[in-house]
Amino acid sequence: MSSAELSKRHKHKPPEGSGSEKARSKEVDRLFTSWVSPAEHVNGSTPTVASRSLHFTGLLDQFPPSLVESLRYLVGRFQLGDNVELRSRLAVVSALHGEGVTTISRTLAAVIANDLDVRVCWVDLSWSSQRSPQALELQGDDGIYEVLTGRTELDEALQRTDDPRLVILRAGRIPDPQRPELARSPLLAILLDDLEKQFDCVVFDMPPILAGSAGLGLVRHTGSYLLVVRHGVTTTQQVRAAVDELRAVPSVGVVLNRYKSRVPKWLAHFFAP
Amino acid sequence: MAYDEFIVTARADRSKTTGKRFWYGVADSFFRRWPLYLLPLVLLIGVGVMQARHVTAQYRSVGVLNVATNPLLATTPLGNTSAYGFETPATATTRMINEQLRTDVFVRSVAEGAGLKAALDQHVVTLNDVRSRVGAGSAGDRLLTISASWPDARTATQLVNSTIKAYTDHVLEVETSQSSAAVTYWTDLAEGYTQDVADAQKKVEDYVVAHPEPKIGDRSTDETLALSYLTAAVTQAQAQLSTTVGKIADAKLNTQQATSQTTEGLQVVDPAEVPSAPQALHRTQALAVAVYLLLGLLLVVLMLFVSALLDRAVRSADDIDLATGLAVVATVPSIAALSRRVERQVSPNEPGLTNA
């Protein structure tokens, strides 16, 4: 599916009353899993910025504007240095499944690449998570597992996007028994070091911290973490537990995801601190 | 494009925001599940409407009493000063009547006086039915009203009159209890003394019969002494009897005086009359609905409070700040929620939004 088609699909408004929130969510999920053409690989070289002149890739147009705008707010804080420092390795993590880590991490990677004009690599480390069917389908592409097992080269595993400053590295076809072992492999650390050298920023899509041991095993490879919390679902105790587990890693902050307040605006302002 | 959801304000003073966070949680809980919260309210209002539909027409009868003084309070050392402060005679009497209406004995006497004894015995009417429909209220310093509502106009009137009579009897009973007891006591004694007099007289008569007066001369000294002794016993018994009779008279006088004071203190100004038309139903029906509405609101508030207290989910940036000390650096709105808002807010001429 081309970028233009995706853009057209995004602009298309669903008929009145035809889409529930779940249907919209599925639509957005499909959009995220098809924003990269698997066939367009980087041919033998790391992606470089061809020109430093201002150009529009249109990649961000494929994302919901509300999501992009929210994460632009975050990146803006990165730029201002408002108690938030963007490190070269940024893990996007959550306490539980289904909090929107993949969505946030992908969009954040695209926004960082576009707004900060830096080379960004989005790395899928959440291979132990419960994935959507679309994500599982794309997980079948060559990725980390194939690179670590010598079946392919890193440059071949890196997948290009519509934005030349942004590439992605998928998990690959990892057999289930080898997933815990892979998470603790020294080769993985070497691979991630290589990525850090090649890119200005590496964004990790991490498995949930409280849902298994993989998250804690992988978080040591990251320089900082961004915690995604789903509004109205995750409890404060779960958030506190996740932060306690991650105390050894610097925190960038928290993204409150899928925020939806039913309180009328006038009433919300009344209760505002 | 700027939405409120994107804006993350600086951390506020936690001590000042805790209360607001709670109330925000209450409001959020209500607006998220308002059908759930409104359901019991609607159900209770429905029950109230059903109750209102079953409200029958009531006849209301009223009697007015003038209370010159409160005989019961007058006997207290503090006069008209009760434990709750100064009370007018009307207020004090109203309070006492309503207190009496809480007792089964009094209510039963009222009901029986109104001709409801058979209904009570057959459990067609309960004491609570009577109790809930009779009441007293002050209407000034000396006037008080006693009212009763009943589906039957004549019974309503009888209930008022019966209540007045029952209370008057109660006051009389209290006021004359001592003097009545005295009458009873002295009357019992008087019966004994009367017997004593009769016995003494009989002894004299018997002695005279046994020792007739000699035809010639006087009685012997012994007989004279014995007879004088018996005569003295008669005199003594008669004196005791006379004293007792005086006591009885005094006690009866006291009773009469108390009765007179009571009847003078409690005068019926307007006797209860048989009402010609029933009361309007609207007020009673509205009251029934209002009671259930109030119950429903209380239940909703209770549910909201419990829900807000038990809800541990993250609802705001402050929740995360309080739980972890970490700042919320971005807030991503729900896609569906924001899409609706974008559709509502975006206009073709608004720059930067037309491409969204």
CB proximity B10 to A under 8 Å: no
pLDDT(A92) > 90: yes
How confident is the prediction for chain A on average, in pLDDT? 75
Average pLDDT over residues B93-115: 93
Kindly report the nearest CA distance between residue A259 and chain B, in angstroms: 4
**CA-based angle A107:B313:A203, to the nearest 5?**
20
User: Which position has the higher pLDDT, B83 or A17?
Assistant: B83
pLDDT(A91) > 90: yes
Kindly report the nearest CA distance between residue B341 and chain A, in angstroms: 10
What's the full length of chain B, in residues? 356
Q: For residue B28, what are its two tokens?
A: 């959020």
B333/A260 touch (CB, cutoff 8 Å), yes or no:
yes
pLDDT(B171) > 70: yes
B323/A13 touch (CB, cutoff 8 Å), yes or no:
no
Of A71, A235, A239, which is closest to B330 when you measure between CB atoms? A71
pLDDT(B2) > 60: no
CB proximity B35 to A under 8 Å: no
The pLDDT value given to residue A120: 93
Question: How far is it, in rounded angstroms, from Cα A204 to Cα A124?
Answer: 6
Q: For residue A240, what are its two tokens?
A: 């506190």
Q: How many CB atoms lie within 10 A of CB A192?
A: 21
The pLDDT value given to residue B146: 94
CB proximity B327 to A under 8 Å: yes
Question: How far is it, in rounded angstroms, from Cα B163 to Cα A118?
Answer: 95
Band (pLDDT 50/70/90 cuts) for residue B212 is: confident
Of B23, B328, B333, which is closest to A254 when you measure between CB atoms? B328
Q: How confident is the model over A218-244, as pLDDT tens digits?
A: 888 888 999 999 988 899 999 999 999
The pLDDT value given to residue A55: 56
The rounded percent of chain B whose pLDDT value lies above 70 is 84
CB proximity B344 to A under 8 Å: no
Kindly report the nearest CA distance between residue A172 and chain B, in angstroms: 29
B3/A69 touch (CB, cutoff 8 Å), yes or no:
yes
B320/A229 touch (CB, cutoff 8 Å), yes or no:
yes
CB proximity B315 to A under 8 Å: yes
DSSP B52-94: HHTPPP-EEEEEEEEESS-HHHHTSTTTTEETTEE--HHHHHH
According to DSSP, the β-strands at B134-138 and A251-259 are: unpaired
Torsion angles phi and psi, residue B139, rounded to 5:
-135, 55
Q: How many CB atoms lie within 10 A of CB B114?
A: 27
Of B6, B16, B312, which is closest to A236 when you measure between CB atoms? B312
The pLDDT value given to residue A31: 45
Of A74, A239, A264, which is closest to B320 when you measure between CB atoms? A239
Whether A196 and A81 have beta carbons less than 8 Å apart is answered as: no
Question: How far is it, in rounded angstroms, from Cα A169 to Cα A153?
Answer: 12
B330/A73 touch (CB, cutoff 8 Å), yes or no:
yes
Of A19, A104, A256, which is closest to B328 when you measure between CB atoms? A256
A79-83, A191-195, B59-63, B344-348: which range is least confident on average? B344-348
pLDDT(A49) > 60: no
- What is the dihedral sign for C-alpha B269, B272, B277, B283? positive
Band (pLDDT 50/70/90 cuts) for residue B354 is: very low
The pLDDT value given to residue B202: 92
B332/A67 touch (CB, cutoff 8 Å), yes or no:
yes
Mutate to test the interface with B, among A29, A70, A77 (most CBs of B within 10 A): A70
Average pLDDT over residues B328-335: 84
Interface predicted TM-score of the whole assembly (ipTM), two decimals? 0.74
Question: How far is it, in rounded angstroms, from Cα A220 to Cα A208?
Answer: 14
A236/B323 touch (CB, cutoff 8 Å), yes or no:
yes
What's the full length of chain A, in residues? 273
DSSP A169: E
User: Which position has the higher pLDDT, B11 or A143?
Assistant: A143
The pLDDT value given to residue A85: 66
The pLDDT value given to residue B236: 92
Q: How confident is the model over A157-180, as pLDDT tens digits?
A: 888 888 888 998 988 888 878 887
Average pLDDT over residues B18-39: 84
DSSP B4: G
Write the CA distances from A256 to A20, A32, A230, B313, integer angstroms: 22, 19, 6, 12
Q: How confident is the model over A167-224, as pLDDT tens digits?
A: 989 888 888 788 878 888 889 999 999 999 999 999 999 999 998 777 888 888 888 9
The pLDDT value given to residue B154: 92
Q: How many CB atoms lie within 10 A of CB B83?
A: 6
CB-CB neighbors (< 8 A) of B27 in chain A: 263, 267-268, 271
Q: How confident is the model over B135-161, as pLDDT tens digits?
A: 999 988 889 999 999 988 999 999 999
Average pLDDT over residues A139-150: 81
What kind and span of H or E run contains B120? helix B117-121
Question: How far is it, in rounded angstroms, from Cα A52 to Cα B329?
Answer: 29
The pLDDT value given to residue A211: 83
Band (pLDDT 50/70/90 cuts) for residue A131 is: low
A273/B327 touch (CB, cutoff 8 Å), yes or no:
no
Q: How confident is the model over B176-196, as pLDDT tens digits?
A: 888 888 888 999 989 999 999
The pLDDT value given to residue B340: 47
Q: Looking at the DSSP assignment, which residues form a beta bridge with residue A272?
A: none
A6-15, B139-148, B238-247, B307-316: which range is least confident on average? A6-15
Of B314, B318, B337, which is closest to A229 when you measure between CB atoms? B314
Question: How far is it, in rounded angstroms, from Cα A182 to Cα B108?
Answer: 89
Q: How confident is the model over A52-73, as pLDDT tens digits?
A: 455 566 677 777 888 888 888 8
The pLDDT value given to residue B265: 80
Band (pLDDT 50/70/90 cuts) for residue B130 is: very high
